[in-house]
Amino acid sequence: MPFLAVTVVAVAAFLPLVVTSSYILSVGVTMFLYLVAAMSLNVIYGLLGLLSLAHIAFWGIGGYFTVIAVMDLGLSFWVALPLAGLFAGVVSIAVGFPALRLNRHSFVVVTLIFALLTTLVARDWVSLTRGPMGIPGIPSPYFFGHEIAGAYSFYYLAGAFALVSLLLLYLFFTSRIADTMRAINQSEDLARSQGVNPTAYKLLAFFLSAFFTAMAGGILAFNQRVIDPLIFDFFFMQAFLIMVIVGGRGSFVGVLVAGAVMSILPEVLRFSVDLRMVLYGLALLAFVTWAPNGLAGWIRERREERLRSELRQ
């Protein structure tokens, strides 16, 4: 496993030296950012089973915060980006505190309403966000005097960001903190009876999911060089959700693989412009039918079946 991981990272790192197509590199940029966003959704939705539709809001808030901090406040991109993460994290605590007092179903509704409200703010607070026209002309970040512009350098920026974020998230997913979250997801009453305070874990999960997603959204905005309310488009939310569900909720490796495949698949399917979305839909249907618990769930079920028959003997 570590060998495979190092190989994948090495191949990804040397890819731009071989592939010069900026189209392929920009697919890579998107994939890196989607991976981080999907994996952070996997913290709150996968580990705790709390479907947060506010994820799209944090993605957009991160984008707007970074852009406004750089363009209006004159902050450096490298300061603005982590600040955007922290800002979204603080917002997530403010929203999560009341929303997490409710049951799971109400939580979904409250996060959806929050996502819709942020879209409204982005569209209507014209003096801050310039409304539906968006903010064009986002300047390039500079890295030690080197301008980051174009697919090639953004490939490395987004790639490095994804590498660091995913490493941290991997440490998190394999920690005892994540185990306690899985426990809360399986039986909150049992966890409480054992001395766990579920609210603290839920707030932490919500914070982490907002923190990483916001930074990914910030990089996306600088890559696009323009930000408008379309960053709150439900397309993104649906893409992240599909990655988590197809990969298997709560599984790090599953969502990593599904995230990569689901980022690349729609592009590969471009050979047939008419059937592209039909094929994508068919692939999804196949998964929902035959592997409702995702990639990781399917593998786990096979393993359990084997274990059962072994133990019977």
Partner 1 sequence: MNSATPLLEVEGLRKSFAGVHAVDNMSFSVAHNTITGVIGPNGSGKSTTIDCISGFQRPNAGRIRLDGRDITRLTPQKIAKAGLIRTFQTVHIYEAMTLRENLLQAARPFQASGWVADFLRLPGMRREVDAAMVRADELVDMIGLRKYYDAPTRILSYGQKKLVALAAGLMPKPRLLVLDEPVAGVNPTRIREIEEVILNLHAAGESFIIVEHNVEFVMRLCERVIVFVGGSKMTEGDPKSVQQDARVLEAYLGIPA
Which residues in this chain contact partner 1 in the complex, by CB under 8 A? 171-172, 175-177, 179-180, 182-183, 186-187, 189-190, 192-198, 204, 304, 307-308, 311
Nearest approach, Cβ of residue 304 and partner 1 (Å)? 6
Q: Which is nearer to partner 1, 4 or 311 (CB)?
A: 311
Place of tokens 């054992």: 194
Return the structure tokens found at 9: 């990272």
**Minimum CB–partner distance for residue 204 and partner 1 (Å):** 7
What are the tokens at 297?
A: 């769930």
State the Cα–Cα distance between residues 311 and 292, nearest whole angstrom: 26
Least distance in angstroms from the C-beta of 148 to partner 1:
30
Q: Nearer to partner 1 by C-beta: 126 or 307?
A: 307
The set of long-range contacts for 164-172, using a CB threshold of 8 Å and a minimum separation of 24, is 165/36, 165/39, 165/40, 165/212, 165/215, 165/216, 166/35, 166/36, 166/39, 166/256, 169/36, 169/39, 169/40, 169/43, 169/208, 169/212, 169/252, 170/252, 172/43, 172/208
**Pick 118 or 185: Cβ nearer partner 1:** 185
For 1-6, the CB contacts below 8 A with 24+ separation are none
Smaller CB distance to partner 1: residue 289 or 313? 313
21/194 with CB nearer partner 1:
194
Contact 40, 59 (CB under 8 A): no
Which of these, 10, 97, 54, lies nearest to 209 by C-alpha position? Answer: 54
User: From the CB of 171, what's the least distance to partner 1, in Å?
Assistant: 6
The Cβ-side half-sphere exposure at 272, using a 13 Å CA radius, reads 7
Shorter beta-carbon distance to partner 1: residue 21 or 186:
186
Shortest distance in whole angstroms from residue 36 CB to partner 1: 18
Minimum separation from the CB atom of position 81 to partner 1 (A): 22
